[in-house]
Protein backbone atom coordinates (compact mmCIF):
# COMPACT_ATOMS: atom_id res chain seq x y z
CA UNK A 1 0.00 0.00 0.00
CA UNK A 2 2.83 2.38 0.83
CA UNK A 3 4.52 1.79 -2.53
CA UNK A 4 1.20 2.30 -4.36
CA UNK A 5 0.52 5.52 -2.46
CA UNK A 6 3.99 6.88 -3.30
CA UNK A 7 3.56 5.89 -6.95
CA UNK A 8 0.26 7.81 -7.15
CA UNK A 9 1.78 10.90 -5.55
CA UNK A 10 4.76 10.74 -7.88
CA UNK A 11 2.53 10.45 -10.96
CA UNK A 12 0.86 13.72 -10.02
CA UNK A 13 4.16 15.62 -10.13
CA UNK A 14 5.09 17.69 -13.16
CA UNK A 15 7.81 16.38 -15.48
CA UNK A 16 10.27 18.89 -14.04
CA UNK A 17 9.54 17.88 -10.44
CA UNK A 18 9.77 14.19 -11.35
CA UNK A 19 13.20 14.82 -12.91
CA UNK A 20 14.37 16.67 -9.81
CA UNK A 21 13.08 13.87 -7.57
CA UNK A 22 14.92 11.25 -9.62
CA UNK A 23 18.09 13.35 -9.48
CA UNK A 24 17.86 13.73 -5.69
CA UNK A 25 17.25 10.02 -5.17
CA UNK A 26 20.15 9.19 -7.47
CA UNK A 27 22.30 11.72 -5.67
CA UNK A 28 21.55 10.08 -2.30
CA UNK A 29 22.57 6.71 -3.70
CA UNK A 30 25.73 8.14 -5.20
CA UNK A 31 26.56 9.89 -1.92
CA UNK A 32 26.22 6.59 -0.08
CA UNK A 33 28.61 5.04 -2.59
CA UNK A 34 31.04 7.92 -2.14
CA UNK A 35 30.90 7.65 1.64
CA UNK A 36 31.87 4.00 1.35
CA UNK A 37 34.75 4.97 -0.92
CA UNK A 38 37.92 5.76 0.93
CA UNK A 39 40.11 8.70 -0.01
CA UNK A 40 42.61 8.08 -2.79
CA UNK A 41 45.80 6.74 -1.27
CA UNK A 42 49.39 6.74 -2.45
CA UNK A 43 49.94 3.89 -4.89
CA UNK A 44 52.28 0.97 -4.13
CA UNK A 45 55.72 2.07 -5.30
CA UNK A 46 56.56 -1.37 -6.67
CA UNK A 47 53.56 -1.36 -9.02
CA UNK A 48 53.59 0.03 -12.55
CA UNK A 49 51.41 3.09 -13.05
CA UNK A 50 48.61 2.40 -15.54
CA UNK A 51 47.16 5.02 -17.85
CA UNK A 52 43.96 6.71 -16.74
CA UNK A 53 40.92 6.40 -18.99
CA UNK A 54 41.51 9.92 -20.35
CA UNK A 55 45.17 9.21 -21.03
CA UNK A 56 44.50 5.94 -22.82
CA UNK A 57 42.45 7.65 -25.53
CA UNK A 58 45.22 10.19 -26.21
CA UNK A 59 47.90 7.49 -26.09
CA UNK A 60 46.07 5.33 -28.65
CA UNK A 61 45.69 8.30 -30.99
CA UNK A 62 49.41 9.15 -30.72
CA UNK A 63 50.24 5.50 -31.37
CA UNK A 64 48.42 5.74 -34.70
CA UNK A 65 49.70 9.22 -35.56
CA UNK A 66 52.94 9.82 -33.60
CA UNK A 67 53.81 13.05 -35.44
CA UNK A 68 50.38 14.62 -34.95
CA UNK A 69 50.09 17.85 -32.96
CA UNK A 70 46.30 17.69 -32.56
CA UNK A 71 46.75 17.10 -28.83
CA UNK A 72 49.26 19.89 -28.28
CA UNK A 73 47.80 22.33 -25.75
CA UNK A 74 49.27 25.83 -25.80
CA UNK A 75 48.94 29.07 -23.90
CA UNK A 76 50.89 32.33 -23.88
CA UNK A 77 50.97 35.40 -21.65
CA UNK A 78 52.40 38.86 -22.23
CA UNK A 79 54.63 40.21 -19.47
CA UNK A 80 55.06 43.98 -19.32
CA UNK A 81 57.91 44.92 -17.03
CA UNK A 82 61.21 43.40 -16.01
CA UNK A 83 61.55 39.62 -15.99
CA UNK A 84 64.12 37.79 -13.90
CA UNK A 85 64.93 34.71 -15.95
CA UNK A 86 66.86 33.08 -13.10
CA UNK A 87 63.86 33.38 -10.77
CA UNK A 88 61.54 32.13 -13.53
CA UNK A 89 63.70 29.04 -14.00
CA UNK A 90 63.63 28.33 -10.28
CA UNK A 91 59.83 28.65 -10.17
CA UNK A 92 59.33 26.40 -13.19
CA UNK A 93 61.63 23.77 -11.71
CA UNK A 94 59.63 23.87 -8.47
CA UNK A 95 56.36 23.26 -10.34
CA UNK A 96 57.88 20.35 -12.29
CA UNK A 97 59.09 18.77 -9.07
CA UNK A 98 55.69 19.34 -7.43
CA UNK A 99 53.58 17.72 -10.20
CA UNK A 100 54.62 14.24 -11.28
CA UNK A 101 52.65 14.49 -14.54
CA UNK A 102 55.22 17.03 -15.82
CA UNK A 103 57.96 14.42 -15.33
CA UNK A 104 56.05 11.58 -16.99
CA UNK A 105 56.74 9.67 -20.19
CA UNK A 106 54.87 6.65 -21.58
CA UNK A 107 56.34 3.24 -22.27
CA UNK A 108 55.00 -0.15 -23.36
CA UNK A 109 55.85 -3.57 -21.96
CA UNK A 110 54.02 -6.83 -22.69
CA UNK A 111 51.74 -4.83 -25.02
CA UNK A 112 50.55 -2.71 -22.10
CA UNK A 113 51.25 1.05 -21.85
CA UNK A 114 52.29 2.48 -18.52
CA UNK A 115 53.49 5.75 -17.04
CA UNK A 116 57.15 6.16 -16.19
CA UNK A 117 58.00 8.97 -13.78
CA UNK A 118 61.43 10.60 -13.85
CA UNK A 119 62.64 11.72 -10.46
CA UNK A 120 64.15 14.81 -12.08
CA UNK A 121 64.15 16.31 -15.57
CA UNK A 122 66.11 19.01 -17.32
CA UNK A 123 64.13 22.24 -17.43
CA UNK A 124 62.70 22.54 -20.98
CA UNK A 125 63.03 26.33 -21.19
CA UNK A 126 64.12 28.20 -24.32
CA UNK A 127 64.90 31.93 -24.59
CA UNK A 128 64.31 33.61 -27.95
CA UNK A 129 65.52 37.18 -28.33
CA UNK A 130 63.47 39.23 -30.81
CA UNK A 131 64.71 42.66 -29.70
CA UNK A 132 66.68 43.18 -32.91
CA UNK A 133 63.66 42.45 -35.09
CA UNK A 134 62.23 45.40 -36.98
CA UNK A 135 59.34 46.75 -34.85
CA UNK A 136 57.05 46.75 -37.90
CA UNK A 137 57.42 42.99 -38.33
CA UNK A 138 58.16 41.97 -34.73
CA UNK A 139 54.54 41.03 -33.93
CA UNK A 140 54.24 38.96 -37.12
CA UNK A 141 57.53 37.25 -36.30
CA UNK A 142 56.27 36.49 -32.79
CA UNK A 143 53.02 34.97 -34.08
CA UNK A 144 54.95 32.78 -36.52
CA UNK A 145 57.23 31.59 -33.74
CA UNK A 146 54.26 30.82 -31.48
CA UNK A 147 52.58 28.85 -34.26
CA UNK A 148 55.78 26.91 -34.99
CA UNK A 149 56.09 26.06 -31.30
CA UNK A 150 52.49 24.87 -31.14
CA UNK A 151 52.99 22.76 -34.27
CA UNK A 152 56.08 20.96 -32.99
CA UNK A 153 55.16 17.37 -32.00
CA UNK A 154 56.08 15.66 -28.74
CA UNK A 155 57.53 12.17 -28.42
CA UNK A 156 55.52 10.63 -25.60
CA UNK A 157 58.07 7.82 -25.18
CA UNK A 158 61.08 10.06 -24.59
CA UNK A 159 59.63 13.35 -23.38
CA UNK A 160 59.69 15.86 -21.93
CA UNK A 161 56.02 16.52 -22.62
CA UNK A 162 56.09 20.19 -21.68
CA UNK A 163 58.00 23.10 -23.22
CA UNK A 164 58.49 26.69 -22.07
CA UNK A 165 59.65 29.61 -24.23
CA UNK A 166 60.37 33.22 -23.31
CA UNK A 167 60.21 35.60 -26.27
CA UNK A 168 62.06 38.80 -25.43
CA UNK A 169 60.56 41.74 -27.33
CA UNK A 170 62.33 44.48 -25.35
CA UNK A 171 63.87 45.18 -21.96
CA UNK A 172 60.39 45.58 -20.46
CA UNK A 173 58.33 43.44 -22.80
CA UNK A 174 58.19 39.64 -22.97
CA UNK A 175 55.88 36.80 -23.98
CA UNK A 176 55.96 33.53 -22.04
CA UNK A 177 54.51 30.45 -23.75
CA UNK A 178 53.71 26.99 -22.42
CA UNK A 179 53.05 23.96 -24.61
CA UNK A 180 52.05 20.60 -23.14
CA UNK A 181 50.94 17.28 -24.57
CA UNK A 182 47.29 16.73 -23.67
CA UNK A 183 48.13 13.31 -22.17
CA UNK A 184 49.57 15.13 -19.12
CA UNK A 185 47.28 18.15 -18.91
CA UNK A 186 43.89 19.78 -19.53
CA UNK A 187 42.37 23.25 -19.41
CA UNK A 188 41.89 23.18 -15.62
CA UNK A 189 45.56 22.24 -15.27
CA UNK A 190 46.70 25.35 -17.14
CA UNK A 191 44.84 27.50 -14.63
CA UNK A 192 46.65 25.65 -11.83
CA UNK A 193 50.00 26.09 -13.58
CA UNK A 194 49.73 29.86 -14.07
CA UNK A 195 48.30 30.40 -10.58
CA UNK A 196 51.19 28.52 -8.95
CA UNK A 197 53.76 30.21 -11.18
CA UNK A 198 52.41 33.64 -10.19
CA UNK A 199 52.48 32.76 -6.48
CA UNK A 200 56.00 31.34 -6.63
CA UNK A 201 57.43 34.21 -8.70
CA UNK A 202 55.79 36.94 -6.61
CA UNK A 203 56.87 35.39 -3.33
CA UNK A 204 60.40 34.85 -4.62
CA UNK A 205 60.70 38.51 -5.63
CA UNK A 206 59.40 39.53 -2.20
CA UNK A 207 61.75 37.06 -0.51
CA UNK A 208 58.83 35.42 1.29
CA UNK A 209 57.90 31.77 1.58
CA UNK A 210 55.39 30.53 -1.03
CA UNK A 211 52.09 29.36 0.43
CA UNK A 212 51.17 26.62 -2.02
CA UNK A 213 48.69 24.06 -0.73
CA UNK A 214 50.33 20.68 -0.20
CA UNK A 215 49.24 17.92 -2.57
CA UNK A 216 47.87 14.77 -0.97
CA UNK A 217 48.50 12.60 -4.05
CA UNK A 218 50.03 12.76 -7.51
CA UNK A 219 48.38 12.07 -10.84
CA UNK A 220 49.91 8.61 -10.91
CA UNK A 221 48.12 7.81 -7.65
CA UNK A 222 44.83 8.89 -9.21
CA UNK A 223 45.38 6.72 -12.30
CA UNK A 224 46.24 3.71 -10.16
CA UNK A 225 43.14 4.26 -8.00
CA UNK A 226 40.89 4.67 -11.03
CA UNK A 227 42.10 1.45 -12.64
CA UNK A 228 42.32 -0.70 -9.53
CA UNK A 229 39.65 0.55 -7.14
CA UNK A 230 37.08 2.81 -8.75
CA UNK A 231 36.34 0.32 -11.56
CA UNK A 232 35.27 -2.16 -8.87
CA UNK A 233 32.91 0.25 -7.10
CA UNK A 234 29.11 0.45 -7.15
CA UNK A 235 29.35 4.01 -8.43
CA UNK A 236 31.31 2.87 -11.49
CA UNK A 237 28.69 0.22 -12.27
CA UNK A 238 25.95 2.86 -12.03
CA UNK A 239 27.78 5.03 -14.56
CA UNK A 240 28.33 2.14 -16.95
CA UNK A 241 24.70 1.06 -16.83
CA UNK A 242 23.42 4.59 -17.38
CA UNK A 243 25.57 5.17 -20.47
CA UNK A 244 24.79 1.75 -21.90
CA UNK A 245 21.11 2.59 -21.71
CA UNK A 246 21.51 6.15 -22.96
CA UNK A 247 23.67 5.31 -25.97
CA UNK A 248 22.12 1.96 -26.91
CA UNK A 249 20.94 1.17 -30.42
CA UNK A 250 22.11 2.93 -33.57
CA UNK A 251 23.64 6.30 -32.83
CA UNK A 252 22.58 9.09 -35.21
CA UNK A 253 24.99 10.86 -37.55
CA UNK A 254 24.25 14.57 -37.77
CA UNK A 255 23.17 15.38 -41.33
CA UNK A 256 23.78 19.10 -41.66
CA UNK A 257 23.36 20.58 -45.13
CA UNK A 258 26.92 21.86 -45.42
CA UNK A 259 28.48 23.38 -48.51
CA UNK A 260 31.10 20.61 -48.64
CA UNK A 261 30.75 16.87 -48.18
CA UNK A 262 31.89 15.28 -44.96
CA UNK A 263 35.45 13.99 -45.59
CA UNK A 264 36.04 10.26 -45.35
CA UNK A 265 39.14 10.95 -43.20
CA UNK A 266 39.10 13.61 -40.51
CA UNK A 267 41.25 16.60 -41.47
CA UNK A 268 41.24 18.64 -38.23
CA UNK A 269 40.76 21.76 -40.37
CA UNK A 270 37.64 22.88 -38.50
CA UNK A 271 37.41 26.18 -36.72
CA UNK A 272 35.54 27.84 -33.87
CA UNK A 273 33.14 30.75 -34.00
CA UNK A 274 32.93 33.03 -30.97
CA UNK A 275 30.27 35.62 -30.26
CA UNK A 276 28.96 37.49 -27.24
CA UNK A 277 25.49 38.29 -25.96
CA UNK A 278 25.12 41.88 -24.84
CA UNK A 279 24.28 42.69 -21.23
CA UNK A 280 20.58 43.18 -21.96
CA UNK A 281 20.12 39.78 -23.64
CA UNK A 282 22.23 38.05 -20.99
CA UNK A 283 20.07 39.52 -18.24
CA UNK A 284 16.88 38.33 -19.93
CA UNK A 285 18.32 34.83 -20.38
CA UNK A 286 19.24 34.66 -16.68
CA UNK A 287 15.78 35.83 -15.68
CA UNK A 288 14.24 33.15 -17.89
CA UNK A 289 16.46 30.53 -16.28
CA UNK A 290 15.29 31.56 -12.81
CA UNK A 291 11.66 31.38 -13.89
CA UNK A 292 12.12 27.89 -15.36
CA UNK A 293 14.45 26.65 -12.60
CA UNK A 294 17.22 25.72 -15.05
CA UNK A 295 20.85 26.70 -15.50
CA UNK A 296 22.09 28.94 -18.29
CA UNK A 297 23.92 25.93 -19.75
CA UNK A 298 20.67 23.96 -19.95
CA UNK A 299 18.88 26.84 -21.66
CA UNK A 300 21.60 27.38 -24.28
CA UNK A 301 21.90 23.65 -24.90
CA UNK A 302 18.14 23.40 -25.45
CA UNK A 303 18.27 26.32 -27.90
CA UNK A 304 21.17 24.69 -29.74
CA UNK A 305 19.23 21.43 -30.00
CA UNK A 306 16.23 23.25 -31.48
CA UNK A 307 18.57 24.95 -33.94
CA UNK A 308 20.03 21.60 -35.06
CA UNK A 309 16.59 20.03 -35.26
CA UNK A 310 15.38 22.87 -37.48
CA UNK A 311 18.25 22.49 -39.96
CA UNK A 312 18.45 18.68 -40.01
CA UNK A 313 14.89 17.55 -39.23
CA UNK A 314 16.50 14.90 -36.98
CA UNK A 315 14.73 14.13 -33.73
CA UNK A 316 17.53 12.01 -32.25
CA UNK A 317 20.63 14.14 -31.70
CA UNK A 318 23.80 13.58 -29.68
CA UNK A 319 25.85 16.59 -28.55
CA UNK A 320 29.24 16.23 -26.93
CA UNK A 321 30.71 18.65 -24.40
CA UNK A 322 33.68 18.52 -22.03
CA UNK A 323 33.45 18.29 -18.24
CA UNK A 324 36.26 18.84 -15.75
CA UNK A 325 35.80 15.40 -14.14
CA UNK A 326 37.34 16.50 -10.85
CA UNK A 327 34.65 15.48 -8.40
CA UNK A 328 37.12 14.44 -5.70
CA UNK A 329 38.88 16.86 -3.39
CA UNK A 330 42.25 15.20 -3.92
CA UNK A 331 42.28 15.99 -7.65
CA UNK A 332 41.36 19.68 -7.55
CA UNK A 333 44.95 20.95 -7.35
CA UNK A 334 46.66 18.43 -9.64
CA UNK A 335 48.07 19.06 -13.10
CA UNK A 336 46.98 16.15 -15.27
CA UNK A 337 44.56 14.88 -17.90
CA UNK A 338 41.22 14.54 -16.08
CA UNK A 339 38.83 16.01 -18.64
CA UNK A 340 36.01 13.86 -19.96
CA UNK A 341 33.64 14.34 -22.88
CA UNK A 342 29.96 13.70 -22.20
CA UNK A 343 27.76 12.57 -25.10
CA UNK A 344 24.29 13.88 -24.24
CA UNK A 345 21.50 12.27 -26.24
CA UNK A 346 17.99 13.72 -26.44
CA UNK A 347 15.08 12.64 -28.62
CA UNK A 348 12.83 15.53 -29.65
CA UNK A 349 9.44 15.65 -31.35
CA UNK A 350 7.76 18.13 -33.66
CA UNK A 351 4.96 18.26 -31.10
CA UNK A 352 7.24 19.69 -28.41
CA UNK A 353 7.11 23.37 -27.60
CA UNK A 354 10.28 24.99 -26.25
CA UNK A 355 9.31 24.48 -22.63
CA UNK A 356 8.96 20.75 -23.28
CA UNK A 357 12.36 20.68 -25.00
CA UNK A 358 13.91 22.53 -22.05
CA UNK A 359 12.40 20.04 -19.59
CA UNK A 360 13.80 17.15 -21.62
CA UNK A 361 17.26 18.70 -21.80
CA UNK A 362 17.17 19.48 -18.08
CA UNK A 363 16.30 15.90 -17.22
CA UNK A 364 19.05 14.49 -19.47
CA UNK A 365 21.62 16.93 -18.12
CA UNK A 366 20.82 16.07 -14.50
CA UNK A 367 20.93 12.35 -15.26
CA UNK A 368 24.31 12.63 -16.97
Length of the chain: 368
Q: CATH number of the domain at 53-224, out of 3.30.360.10, 3.20.20.70, 3.30.559.10, 3.40.50.1820? A: 3.30.559.10
Contact 299, 285 (CB under 8 A): yes
Sequence ranges of the chain with CATH classification 3.30.559.30: 14-39+249-367
Q: What pLDDT, on a 0 to 100 scale, did the predictor assign at position 15?
A: 53
The residue among 94, 40, 123, 65 whose CA lies nearest residue 338 is: 40
Residue 267's pLDDT is what? 84
Residue ranges, CATH 3.30.559.10, the chain: 53-224
- Taking the model in full, what pTM does it have? 0.85
Instruction: Determine the pLDDT at residue 24.
Output: 55
Q: Where are the alpha helices (DSSP H) in the chain?
A: 2-11, 15-36, 53-64, 85-98, 135-150, 187-205, 219-228, 234-246, 279-292, 296-312, 354-367
Question: For position 7, what pLDDT does the model report?
Answer: 46
pLDDT of 162 reads: 98
Handedness of CA 330, 23, 306, 318 (dihedral sign): positive
Please state which of the four CATH numbers 3.90.1150.10, 1.10.10.60, 3.30.470.20, 3.30.559.30 is assigned to the domain occupying 14-39+249-367: 3.30.559.30
Q: What is the pLDDT along the chain (368 residues), one digit of tens a residue?
A: 434 444 445 555 555 555 555 555 554 445 444 444 579 999 998 899 999 999 999 999 999 999 999 999 999 999 999 999 999 999 999 999 999 999 999 999 999 999 999 998 999 999 999 999 999 999 999 999 999 999 999 999 999 999 999 999 999 999 999 999 999 999 999 999 999 999 999 999 998 887 899 999 999 999 999 999 999 999 899 999 999 999 999 999 999 888 888 888 888 888 889 999 999 999 999 999 999 999 999 999 999 999 999 999 999 999 999 999 998 999 999 999 999 999 999 888 888 999 999 999 999 899 87
Please return the burial class of 340, using the count of CB atoms within 10 Å of its CB with bins 0-12, 13-18 and 19+: middle
Contact 220, 183 (CB under 8 A): no
Q: How many CB atoms lie within 10 A of CB 72?
A: 18
* Contact of 364 with 217, CB cutoff 8 Å: no
pLDDT value of position 317: 93
In DSSP terms, 192 is beta-bridged to: none
**Residue 201 dihedral angles phi and psi, to the nearest 5°:** -65, -45
Amino acid sequence: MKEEYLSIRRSRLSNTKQALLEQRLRGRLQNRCLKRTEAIQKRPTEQRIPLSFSQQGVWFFQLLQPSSTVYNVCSAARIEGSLDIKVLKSCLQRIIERHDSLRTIFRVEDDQPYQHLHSRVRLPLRILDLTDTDPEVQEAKLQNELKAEADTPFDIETGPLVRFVVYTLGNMSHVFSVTMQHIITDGWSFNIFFKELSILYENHMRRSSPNLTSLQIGYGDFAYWQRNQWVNSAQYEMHIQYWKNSLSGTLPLLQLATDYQRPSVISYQGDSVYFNFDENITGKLKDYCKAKNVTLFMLLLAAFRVFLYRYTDQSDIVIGFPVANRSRKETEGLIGDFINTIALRTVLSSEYDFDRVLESVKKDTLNA
